[in-house]
Amino acid sequence: MFNKVIVIEISTLCNLSCPFCAHDKRLPIPRHTIPAEDLRTFTEIVGQYATATGEAILVSWLGGEPFLQRDLLPLTEALHAQYPLSFSATTNGTQLHNPEIRAHIRRCYAELTFSMDGFPEFHDLMRGKTGLFEDVKTHVQRLAREAPDLKLRINTVLMRDNFDAFPALCLEFARWGVQEITFNQLGGRDRPEFYPEHRLTVEQVQRLSEMAQQIQEAIRDLGTHLVFSPSYLKRISATARGEKLPILDCAPGRFYMFVNALGQIAPCTFTLDEYGKPLASIQSLADFEQLPFTFHREKMRQQAPACLDCPNTNVHGKFS
Ligand SMILES: C[S@@+](CC[C@H](N)C(=O)[O-])C[C@H]1O[C@@H](n2cnc3c(N)ncnc32)[C@H](O)[C@@H]1O
């Protein structure tokens, strides 16, 4: 549906304590936020690009928790008023009790993804916040009623501990009125101390394809789609088996780009060190249009190690 998706991790600040996540608030790490001026300049250039080309561009805010960044609201409002851009965000839902934020989402957003990893006992424990499951349920149901044009999605991190609950969980989410459910397998890069005990087992992954099809059928009549593709399941299966899945040419930067909170832009979050460019170096439409060519040249010159076992879920058809 979109010609380009640009995911922008605006800040690494978060208010929750998920033991699998790099941004867990308990971690004693320096936190970063993209300087407001750099973010404004860059997103305006993206807006000019959308205007000039007529391409459908999705700007997707990520964090940390994006809605903790209150400057994001006026920026998104201004971009939405001036340019033909679509907006989405991935959120833990903790800020949606604020009516201003909900009204802003209704005005400006095309999509909103809530992260939900289980029923109350598991979800609230994983995220370190009692009552969060019920709060998110309230927000999702309200947005489903009040904003019928907003695509509501729930993303679940599948791990050993919540795998068996996933079919019942999808049925629950479908009853809330979400259009899509997506899933990630638990990744190990961010929290190597959590990963070995909680990653999906080979046996679980063997059941995943059949389970996913059964879930799709079970929730179809409720108007909800579980999104996955054969190539995405192949990626998850290869990880569980310890097999590498190289991608020779992902057309870096043509369909998907990632900006991190340090203000580096790259084809994905896994290639920032090798192909990343400072956001501040993108000062014109021409600079932005050059990015896919620059990334391609650099990949041809020296491939990033991550490409030899590509973990980018977009490349493997997470949303296909
Ligand atoms: C880093 S969070 C940031 C956005 C927001 N704070 C939230 O909770 O949705 C973005 C997504 O990455 C997922 N995530 C975090 N750590 C992960 C891991 N180790 N493996 C797979 N997905 C992960 C989260 O569950 C969430 O859906």
Between these two residues, 81 and 313, which has the higher pLDDT value? 81
The predicted pLDDT at position 316 comes to 86
The predicted pLDDT at position 109 comes to 98
Compute the distance from residue 305 Cα to the ligand 1 centre, in Å: 23
The answer to whether the CB of 62 falls within 8 A of the CB of 89 is yes
**Does the pLDDT of residue 318 top 90, yes or no?**
no
- Quick one: 278 exposed, middle or buried, by C-beta within 10 A (0-12, 13-18, 19+)? exposed
**Does the pLDDT of residue 256 top 90, yes or no?**
yes
The predicted pLDDT at position 213 comes to 98
The predicted pLDDT at position 73 comes to 98
> Is residue 91 within 6 Å of ligand 1 at its C-beta?
yes
**Does the pLDDT of residue 163 top 90, yes or no?**
yes
Pocket of ligand 1, candidates 95, 115, 136, 236: which has the most ligand atoms within 8 Å of its Cβ, to mutate? Answer: 115
Q: Would strands 277-278 and 264-266 be described as parallel, antiparallel, or unpaired? A: antiparallel
**Does the pLDDT of residue 248 top 90, yes or no?**
no
> Is residue 21 within 6 Å of ligand 1 at its C-beta?
yes
What is the residue extent of each domain of the chain?
4-309
Compute the distance from residue 159 Cα to the ligand 1 centre, in Å: 13
Residue 142 CA neighbour count, 13 Å, CB half: 15
Cα–Cα distance, 285 to 303 (Å, whole number): 26
For residue 190, the ligand 1 atom closest to its alpha carbon is 19
The predicted pLDDT at position 314 comes to 86
The answer to whether the CB of 235 falls within 8 A of the CB of 244 is no
Residue 161 CA neighbour count, 13 Å, CB half: 17
What does the pLDDT look like over 8-47, one tens digit per residue?
A: 999 999 999 999 999 999 999 999 999 999 999 999 999 9
Compute the distance from residue 314 Cα to the ligand 1 centre, in Å: 15
The predicted pLDDT at position 255 comes to 96
> Is residue 95 within 6 Å of ligand 1 at its C-beta?
no
**Does the pLDDT of residue 317 top 90, yes or no?**
no
Assign domain 4-309 to its CATH superfamily. Answer: Aldolase class I (3.20.20.70)
Please give the mean pLDDT across all residues of the chain.
97
For residue 189, the ligand 1 atom closest to its alpha carbon is 19
* pLDDT, average across residues 196-211: 97
Q: If pLDDT is split at 50, 70 and 90, which confidence band does 147 have?
A: very high
Compute the distance from residue 186 Cα to the ligand 1 centre, in Å: 9
Query: How many CB atoms lie under 10 A from the CB of residue 12?
Result: 19
pTM score of the predicted model: 0.97
- Alpha-carbon distances of 27 from 21, 118, 191, rounded to whole Å: 10, 23, 11
The predicted pLDDT at position 320 comes to 81
What does the pLDDT look like over 44-95, one tens digit per residue?
A: 999 999 999 999 999 999 999 999 999 999 999 999 999 999 999 999 999 9
Percent share of the chain, pLDDT over 70 = 100
The answer to whether the CB of 171 falls within 8 A of the CB of 217 is no
Task: Give the burial string for 99-132 (b: 16+ CB within 10 Å, else e).
Answer: eebbebbeebbbbbbbbbbbeeebbbebbebeeb
**Does the pLDDT of residue 247 top 90, yes or no?**
no
